[in-house]
Amino acid sequence: MSQTFESFGLDPSILEAIQNMGFTSPSSIQQQAIPLILQGCDLVALSQTGSGKTAACAIPVCHRVQIQRPAIQALVVVPTRELALQYAQEVQKIGRKKGIKAFAICGGESASLQLSKLRHGVHVLVATPGRLIDFIYSRSIDLSQVEILVLDEADQMLGMGFYEDLEFIMGCLIHPHQTLLFSATMPETIGRLATKHMRQPQELNLLKESRSPGNISHQFLYCPQHLRDQELAQLLQTLEVKQAIVFCHSRFQVEKVCQSLKKETSVQGVDFLHAGLQQNVRSMITKKFRSGKIQVLVATDVVARGLDFSSLSHVFIYQLPRDPESYLHRSGRTGRYDKSGVVISLVTERELPLLKPILHHLQQEPTWLGTPPPLAHNKPKAKPKRPHI
């Protein structure tokens, strides 16, 4: 039996806010996670990217915050600056009518300004591990009234080498509290954290339902390596692309492809994003992309996890990643909230062996645009012409 947001018994101000945000009915992860969080259970939740994990956590957290207490009651730890800012904005939208104050602290920003904001009272604090630990060491932050600790995109944080940092942060909260861990995969290190720091956590695993949402079309274009830029430019010229991200492996590749697209296409608004840019530049580019001023963003995996771009119609994968999970996270930037999306990967002869495990995860045969590879291993369904998508 499907649930409604009203059935959770949420604060009327929260219900009004999420209705204004366009939420009509809870997704699978929201249906299952929200009641458990409201009950105070520790939770390990595994769900594919784009499934609504942020709201599944932020909605019950905002419901439980007591605005008359000007103290940090919920602490959310995330891997990147961009995700921290987005998460804080989402909490602010959901909790605005109730009067909830949310704030993000991360590296690359003025620590003194962040501390000043904290002194004025914050109910929900979103933080990256490094800056949070700096504040803990300097005794500049009071976490004694935190009732809910959230680790979001936990597998990415662990993959980035934050295991000891997360151990330290979780160990600092010595008073009783609820711990919520959200992830898109389940590495062994997550199990270790849960065993050591969580109280009989409930487990939700929605990864078994589908490896990739059915509203995302996965397509592949076989091409020689030296023609990859040309093929990408042609796709952007001929397809009906509302807004797109082009994923590349390296900073050098990102900048090279961006320059090529500016030169070879008539697309209005092409820019690039990677971790080597200063934080103020990264924030500006992200904001411009969200507002639609940038149509095509060429990026590394800095935008592959968690970030929500609702107008994204296409994802182009310039070079296949070596692990299927990276492919799934990149493709998950489109097709969010049940909207349709298209993922097109450029595949060279050298990359054909990488395609098999990706297709295994997708549980489907490859759909080729144009001529399939002569020795394709997966009995492809060939399409003689590139369709209008």
pLDDT at 6 (0 to 100): 93
Coil, helix or strand at residue 287: helix
Tokens 């530049």: give the residue: 281
Q: What is the pLDDT of residue 151?
A: 95
CA 177 from chain centre, in angstroms, equals 25
Q: Return the pLDDT at 32.
A: 94
Instruction: For the full predicted model, state whether its pTM sits above 0.75.
Output: no
What does the alpha-carbon distance between residue 239 and residue 158 come to, in Å, rounded to a whole number?
38
Q: How far is CA 203 from CA 33, 134, 196, 308, 367, in A?
A: 9, 32, 15, 25, 35
Dihedral over Cα of 36, 136, 88, 324: its sign: negative
β-strand 314-317 against 341-347: which pairing, if any? parallel
How big is the chain, counted in residues?
389
DSSP state letters, 168-180:
HHHHH--S--EEE
pLDDT for 191: 86
pLDDT digits (tens, 9 = 90+) for 79-121: 888 889 889 999 999 999 999 999 999 887 888 899 988 888 8
Average pLDDT over residues 356-369: 87
123-171 pLDDT per residue, tens? 999 999 999 999 999 998 999 999 999 999 888 888 788 999 999 999 9
DSSP 370: B
What pLDDT is recorded for position 304? 59
